[in-house]
Homo-oligomer: A and B are copies of this chain.
Amino acid sequence: MQHIISIGDFDRDAIDRLLDHAGQIDKKQFDAHALEGKILAVLFFEPSTRTRLSFESAIARLGGTSVSVGSMEACSMAKGETLADTIRVVSGYADAIVIRHPREGAARLAAEFSTVPVINAGDGAGQHPSQTLLDLYTIRQSMPIDGTDVALIGDLRYGRTAHSLASALSLYDVRLHTLCPTGLELPATLAERLAEKGMEIIAHDSIDEIIGDMDVLYVTRIQRERFPDSASYFNVTSSYRISPELLAGAKDNLIVLHPLPRVDEIDPRVDASPHAKYFEQSHNGVPVRMAMLMQVMQ
């Protein structure tokens, strides 16, 4: 039995195979009855409608069924009960479990007690491997990952998706550029780990100075709660905002990604530009998650 808990459990070959499979699925080369009769339990202890819906769509596209537990329900289900017990019970109702949980490490704990495969759909500051896989998939749709210059922009301290993506990119020949407000830098331990793997990481102060050299801008949301007041929030976010004017100086094949939802980080006028790939990225969640489900449920 195989679980998918962390992107760190994948080597480069395993990632490439999974993304190749997702690519075939995207071209409609899959059996729409592959998981017929199978049940996926979607157990969300924390709301994430987007991720939930795309897993539910993925299992349906393969002929299977989902049974879902929303965040409030999940919490009341576990009230006074250990996560171990909840998982033991639910694993009797389904052929695989997708779990989202606010506590780091919860997915790995769930995997220990489950009698069916567990997929981590985000656990606190921990991992969110399906997001990272769809990020990589979206880059690959436009260009080979090797040899690219990727800029991570926004909240690099708390942004789980940026951490996971950086780790995965260290398996490839990628130069990492960082752009973030003071205090929201990449955690030192992560930066050290990436450097040990031979990744070059370059911090920048201004996006204008590097826009001409980048292949990928990976933009993440800066949460208003991180700032003492609205004025300083707007002051900071506006200096990282992606606009058509900024993109005028970019390479032709630069792509802009964002895990969504976006708020003020990307000007809506960018949506019409060929650089904008964030909605495709979101849609890619379905074929990538289909490939993940087939990997563990077949």
Nearest Cβ in chain B — how far from A257, in angstroms?
14
Contacting B at CB under 8 A, from A176-222, are none
From known contacts A56-B67, A61-B39, A67-B60, infer whether A77 and B50 are also in contact, taking CB-CB under 8 Å.
Answer: yes
A263 and B81 form a contact (CB under 8 A): yes
Residue of B nearest to A69 (CB): B49
Among B60, B77, B81, B260, point to the contact of A89 (Cβ < 8 A): B260
Contacting B at CB under 8 A, from A234-280, are 260-263, 268, 279
Q: How far is the CA of A37 from the CA of B262 in the complex (A)?
A: 31
A39 and B65 form a contact (CB under 8 A): no
Nearest Cβ in chain B — how far from A70, in angstroms?
7
From known contacts A70-B73, A73-B70, A81-B263, infer whether A89 and B50 are also in contact, taking CB-CB under 8 Å.
Answer: yes
- A74 near B: Cβ within 8 Å? yes
Residue of B nearest to A90 (CB): B53
Residue of B nearest to A284 (CB): B92
Nearest Cβ in chain B — how far from A78, in angstroms?
8
B89 and A57 form a contact (CB under 8 A): no
Residue of B nearest to A44 (CB): B73
Copies of this chain, count: 3
From known contacts A37-B32, A67-B56, A80-B263, infer whether A73 and B49 are also in contact, taking CB-CB under 8 Å.
Answer: yes
Residues of B within 8 A of A39 (CB): 57, 60-61
Q: How far is the CA of A85 from the CA of B267 in the complex (A)?
A: 12
Of the A-B pairs whose beta carbons lie under 8 Å apart in the complex, a sample of 11, sorted by A's number, is A37-B61, A49-B69, A53-B93, A60-B65, A85-B261, A86-B261, A89-B279, A92-B279, A92-B282, A92-B283, A93-B286
Add 20 more A-B contacts to A39-B61, A70-B70 (CB < 8 A): A32-B37, A37-B63, A39-B57, A41-B53, A47-B73, A49-B69, A49-B74, A49-B77, A50-B89, A56-B67, A57-B93, A60-B65, A70-B73, A79-B261, A85-B260, A88-B279, A89-B279, A92-B283, A92-B286, A93-B286
> Which residues in A have some Cβ–Cβ distance to B below 8 Å?
32, 37, 39, 41, 47, 49-50, 53-54, 56-57, 60-61, 63, 65, 67, 69-70, 73-74, 76-77, 79-82, 84-86, 88-90, 92-94, 260-263, 268, 279, 282-283, 285-286
